[in-house]
Amino acid sequence: MSDITQAAGLTQDQVLAARQISGWNELPAAASIGPFRVFLRQFSSFLVVILIVAAAVALALGERIDAATIGLVVLLNAILGFVQEWKAETALTSLRKLLSPQAMVVRDGQEQLIPAREIVPGDILVLSPGARVAADAALIRISDLTVDESILTGESMPVTKSLAEEASIVFAGTSVTAGRAEARVTTTGAGTEFGRIAHLTGSVGTKTTNLQNKLGHLARQLGLAALLVAAAVAGLGIALGRELVEMVMTGLSLSVAMVPEGLPAVVTITLALGATAMVRQNALARRLQAVETLGAASVICTDKTGTLTENKMTATQIWTIDRTYDVTGTGYDPAGHIETGGERLRATDDPVLGMLLQTGLTCSHARLNQTGTTWTMVGEPTEGALITLAYKGWCALPHERGVIAEIPFSSARKRMSVLYQSPTGTAVLTKGAPEQILEICSDIITHDGARAMQEADQDAITQAYADMASRGLRVIALARRDAPDQQLTESNLTFLGLVGLIDPPRAEVRDAIAAAKSAGIHITMITGDSPITASAIADQLSLKVTQHLTGAELDALDDKVLRDILRGDVLFARTKPEQKMRIVAALQSEQQIVAMTGDGVNDAPALKQADIGVSMGIRGTDVARDASDLVLLDDNFATIVRAIGEGRRQFSNVQKFVRYLLSSNAGEVIALVVNIAIGGPLVFLATQILWMNLVTDGVTAVALGLEKAEPDQMQQPPRDKHTAILGLSGVATIILLGLYTGLSSLWIFFHLLDQGVELARTTAFTAMVVFEKISVFAFRSIRLSCWRIGWFSNPFLLAALALTLGAQIVAVYWPPLQVLLRTVPIGAAEWQWIAIFALPILVVPEALKLLFARGQRT
C-alpha cells in the first residue's frame, strides 16, 4: 500500500477495504466446547458405558428399581464432572475478559486510540514506552526504540531496534520498553509471528492423562471379566437345571457385583474435591485428572523468564575502585537497602555512592509509580532498575526540567548522556556499556577525590566487569564531569563505578526446587535467554547444571544423542518453540511423565505437548493458558510443588479406594459363585448388591478418597509411568480379602438357613456390609498401619462409617426398606456371629503392616 503517506495513515474507506481482505486482528478462536459437549464427555468412560448397558439389561428384564438406581449413579457422575470442568472453562474466559488491548494508530492524519482487533495491514502504529505492539509491523520512524520480546523468545533483556533490515520489524505481543517509533502494519491475526506459534500449538493432538489411561484399562479388564464370569455362571446354572429367567437375573447380579458401580462417581468426586482444594491454593485444573498427572511427573521442564524469575531487572551489586556494595530487595519496589561490610548506607553517607546513584537516576527516561503499596515501572527495565537503586539509597530526586540536553542511546554508541543543571551547577551524566564508557573517561573517582585514571585502574575495572558478567549480571558503567560551560560533550569524564543487574529469581522458587528434588523429580531449564544468564540463575536456585546447550547446538544433535544428554543435568538456552517441543517429546519417548511450565506464547507448543502443561494465570498469554492443563492463578512456582503433593495424594487415594471397592465386590462374587456351584438359594439379591455397591461402599470410598497425604509422600520417588492402579500386591489383597469375606458370609448364610432363607439372607447381607466397612481400615494406607497415620486422622471416614452402618441398621429394621431390599429383622445372636467374623479383618492387616515396618527398620 505504497500510496499511503507516513503522516496521514489510512482513511476510513481504506480500513474497511483492508478488513475485507485480512479480517479482524485476532487469532482464530479455539474450537468452542459448549456445555453440552462437556456434559457428553462425562459418558466416554468404558466403565460408565458398562453401567449404562447394565441398566438397559435390567430395564429389559423388568427390574426397574435396579435400572433406575444404576442410571442415577451414572447421572450423578456426569453432573459432578461437568460442574468442575465447566467451572474451569468459564474461569479462563473471565481471565481473558480482564484484557482489553488497545493501540494508538494514525488514521486520517490524526492519532487515534482504537481496539487492537480493529487494526488492519497498512495501519501506522504509534509506539511509546509501555505500549504493547498489536501486530507485526515494519518500522518507518524510530527514536531509541527498545522492545521486550521475552513473550516470544524468552530473552530477558530488551532488544534494540533500528531501521537496519534485521532489526526493523516489531512483533505482535511484544512491549515497548523505551523510545518512540512509528511502524506500518504488515501482518495481522494468525499471520503474525505470534499467530504462527499459536498454530504450532494447535498442531499437537489431544492427549489423555495417565490416570485416564489406567482407569480405562482397568474398566476394560473389569468389563470383560464381568461378562465372562456372568455368562459362565449363568451357563453353569442352566446346565445344572436352574430356570432360565432365574439364571439370567443371577448373571446380571454377578455382573453388577463385579463392576464397582460407585467407582466412576468416587473417582470424579475425589478428583473434584482435590481440584477444589487446589483452587484454594491458587491452581486451577482445567481437567479433573490434571493435578493427578502432575503428581506422577518425573521431569519438570521450566521456562526461566517470568517463571523462575520475576521478569524485573534488579541491581544486585555496585562496584567502585574503593568499595563493593551489595543491594537487597528485588523488582521495582524500593523496599531494600545498600550495604557494604554489614553497614547500611544512603547517598548522603558516601559521596562516591551518592554521585553514582544520582547519575543513574537522572540519566534516564524511566519512572516509578506508586499506587497504594504497589510499585510499577514505566520505561526500559535497565533504567527502571537504576531508578529503584537510587530510591533504595534515598537519593535526592532530580529537579524538574533539570535535563537541558541529551545525546540518546543508540546500538552503535551503547551509551546515553544528559546535560543536567542543578542548584549546585551543571554536569554531564553518562551511563552505558563499560567498554564505551571507559573510552571517554580520563579520571576515576575515589573516596579521596578524583584522580587521573591509570592502567591499573583500567585493568581493575575490566576484571570487575568480567567477574560480574560471568555471574550472569548485565553490567552498566556510570560516569560524570562538571560542565560549567554547559556543553554536552562525551570526553574527559570521571569514571564512577559499575552496577550489576539481573532478572532475579522469585523468592519462593529455591525452596520449591529443593522440595521437588527431594521428591525425586528432575528439573530441566529451557529458556530463550543466554546460557550465561540462565546458568547464573540456575546457580542461585541450587539447580545443578553440568552442561548447557543452545538451540543451534540442539539442532545439530540427532534424537538418540539428545535422549542421552537429557539423562544428565543439562540446561537449554536460546531455544525456539519448536525446539522446546522436541525436548519434551524426547523425554516422553524415554517413558518420562513431563510437566512443562511457562507463560509466553513461545512456551505454548511445549505446554500442549507435555503430559501436563502449567501456565501462569496473571502474566500468562491466552495462548499459553489455552494450551495448558493447570493454570497457576498466583504465578507462583511453589504452587507447582504443592500441586505435585496433591496429585500424589490423589493417585494414592484412587489406588486405595479402587482396591477397597474391588475387594468388597470380590467377596460378593465369591459368595454368589460358590453358592450357585453348590446349589443353594441366592445368598444376595440384585437390589441388595446394588445397595452394598452404591449406597454403603460408595460413601465409604469417597471418604477414603479424602485421606490426608502420608507422612513420607514427598520423600518418595515418582511412580513409574506404567504403575498399575492395582498391581500384583493389589490383586493378591483383593483375592485374599474377598475369599475371607465371601466364604464367611456364605458360612453365616448356610448356618442360619434352617431358620428361614430370609433371615439367613438378611444376616449374610448385613455381615457383608459390616465386613466391607471394617475392611476400609486396611486400605487407609497401603504401607503404613493406622497406628502410624492415626486412627482418627480422617474424620470424614469415621462419619461415613457411622452413616453407612446406620443405614444398614435402618435397612434391616425399617419396614419401607425391608420391602425394597427384602430384609427381615435379625437378633443379637446373628449380630454376634457378624462381630466374630469381622474382628480378624481389623486385626490381621494391622499386625502384618506392623511386622513389615519392623522388618524394614531391621
- pLDDT tens profile 69-119: 677 767 876 776 676 566 655 644 554 443 357 788 988 888 888 888 889
Q: Which three cell numbers stand for residue 101?
A: 488491548
Which pLDDT score, from 0 to 100, does residue 4 have?
38
Contact 621, 279 (CB under 8 A): no
CATH number of residue 842's parent domain: 1.20.1110.10
Pick from 335, 310, 337: nearest CA to 326 = 337
Residue 105 forms beta bridges with which residues?
Answer: 112, 125
Do 633 and 694 belong together in one domain? Answer: no
In a domain, 67, yes or no: no
Do 710 and 771 belong together in one domain? Answer: yes
Do 364 and 391 belong together in one domain? Answer: yes
Which pLDDT score, from 0 to 100, does residue 31 have?
55
Q: Which three cell numbers stand for residue 404?
A: 537541558
Pick from 311, 314, 306, 320: nearest CA to 353 = 320
The number of beta carbons lying within 10 Å of the beta carbon of residue 323 is 16
CATH number of residue 614's parent domain: 3.40.50.1000
Contact 476, 382 (CB under 8 A): yes
pLDDT tens digits, 568-598: 999 999 888 889 889 999 999 998 999 998 8
Do 561 and 478 belong together in one domain? Answer: no
Answer whether residue 8 shows pLDDT above 80. no
pLDDT confidence of 192, banded at 50, 70, 90?
A: confident
CA distances from 721 to 286, 296, 455, 574, 850 (A): 22, 7, 62, 30, 29
Q: Give the mean pLDDT of 359-388.
A: 89
Do 457 and 489 belong together in one domain? Answer: yes
Which pLDDT score, from 0 to 100, does residue 803 have?
92
CATH number of residue 455's parent domain: 3.40.1110.10
The whole domain housing 418 covers: 314-502
In a domain, 420, yes or no: yes
Averaged confidence pLDDT in the chain: 84
Name which of 125-134, 579-588, 606-615, 822-831 the model is least confident about.
125-134
CA distance 668 to 666: 5
Domain's final residue, options 590, 616, 638: 638
| Sequence-ordered list of residues with C-beta below 8 angstroms from that of 498, at least 6 positions apart, any chain | 318, 319, 320, 434, 461, 464, 465, 468, 475, 476, 477, 478
Q: Could you tell me the maximum CA-CA distance found in the chain, to the nearest angstrom?
A: 121
> Assign residue 260 a region: left if phi > 0, alpha if psi is -120 to 50, beta otherwise?
beta
How many domains does one find in the chain?
A: 3
Per DSSP, 708 falls in state P
Contact 659, 728 (CB under 8 A): no
Residue 691's Cα: distance from chain center in Å?
40
Do 347 and 362 belong together in one domain? Answer: yes
- Does residue 397 or residue 386 have the better pLDDT? 386
Contact 233, 636 (CB under 8 A): no
Residue 818: strand, helix, or coil: helix
Per DSSP, 168 falls in state -
Half-sphere exposure of 159 (CA within 13 A, CB side): 21
Which pLDDT score, from 0 to 100, does residue 186 have?
92
In a domain, 194, yes or no: no
CA distance 403 to 407: 11
Which pLDDT score, from 0 to 100, does residue 194 have?
76
Q: Give the mean pLDDT of 763-771.
A: 96
In a domain, 178, yes or no: no
CA distances from 37 to 44, 180, 307, 502, 820 (A): 11, 48, 33, 47, 37
Which pLDDT score, from 0 to 100, does residue 80 have?
62
Answer whether residue 400 shows pLDDT above 50. yes
pLDDT winner (highest mean) among 4-18, 129-143, 452-466, 673-687: 452-466
Which pLDDT score, from 0 to 100, does residue 95 have?
41
Answer whether residue 190 shows pLDDT above 60. yes
pLDDT confidence of 658, banded at 50, 70, 90?
A: confident
pLDDT tens digits, 216-256: 777 777 777 777 877 887 787 778 777 776 677 667 666 66
CA distance 337 to 345: 8
Contact 835, 769 (CB under 8 A): no
Do 332 and 446 belong together in one domain? Answer: yes
Do 697 and 764 belong together in one domain? Answer: yes
Which pLDDT score, from 0 to 100, does residue 648 have?
87
Pick from 260, 205, 257: nearest CA to 230 = 257
pLDDT confidence of 6, banded at 50, 70, 90?
A: very low
In a domain, 728, yes or no: yes
Half-sphere exposure of 86 (CA within 13 A, CB side): 15
Contact 703, 660 (CB under 8 A): no
Which pLDDT score, from 0 to 100, does residue 350 have?
95
Contact 604, 197 (CB under 8 A): yes
Kindly give the pairing relationship between strand 425-432 and strand 415-422: antiparallel
In a domain, 77, yes or no: no
> Between 727-751 and 637-677, two packed helices, what is the crossing angle to 10 degrees?
40
In a domain, 135, yes or no: no
Domain's final residue, options 609, 638, 667: 638
- Does residue 1 or residue 699 have the better pLDDT? 699
Do 525 and 560 belong together in one domain? Answer: yes
Do 784 and 831 belong together in one domain? Answer: yes
Contact 106, 727 (CB under 8 A): no
pLDDT tens digits, 112-166: 888 888 899 999 999 887 678 889 999 998 877 888 887 777 666 678 888 877 6
Do 609 and 552 belong together in one domain? Answer: yes
Pick from 708, 703, 853: nearest CA to 790 = 708
pLDDT confidence of 5, banded at 50, 70, 90?
A: very low
Which pTM does this prediction carry?
0.69
> Between 637-677 and 244-258, two packed helices, what is the crossing angle to 10 degrees?
150
CA distance 516 to 569: 15
Q: Which three cell numbers stand for residue 525?
A: 531449564
Answer whether residue 737 shows pLDDT above 80. yes
pLDDT confidence of 429, banded at 50, 70, 90?
A: very high
Which pLDDT score, from 0 to 100, does residue 99 have?
39
Q: Where do runs of H (alpha helix) occur along 567-636?
A: 577-589, 604-609, 622-627
What is the percent of the chain with per-residue pLDDT over 90, rounded to a whole number?
35
- Does residue 189 or residue 445 have the better pLDDT? 445
Answer whether residue 404 shows pLDDT above 80. yes
Do 417 and 429 belong together in one domain? Answer: yes
Which pLDDT score, from 0 to 100, does residue 288 have?
65
Domain's final residue, options 607, 638, 669: 638
In a domain, 546, yes or no: yes
Residue 272's Cα: distance from chain center in Å?
17
CA distance 489 to 142: 23
Contact 547, 571 (CB under 8 A): yes
Residue 505 forms beta bridges with which residues?
Answer: 309
CA distances from 858 to 341, 710, 766, 788 (A): 52, 22, 42, 18
Task: Supply the residues annotated as catalytic.
Answer: 303
Amino acid occupying residue 374:
T
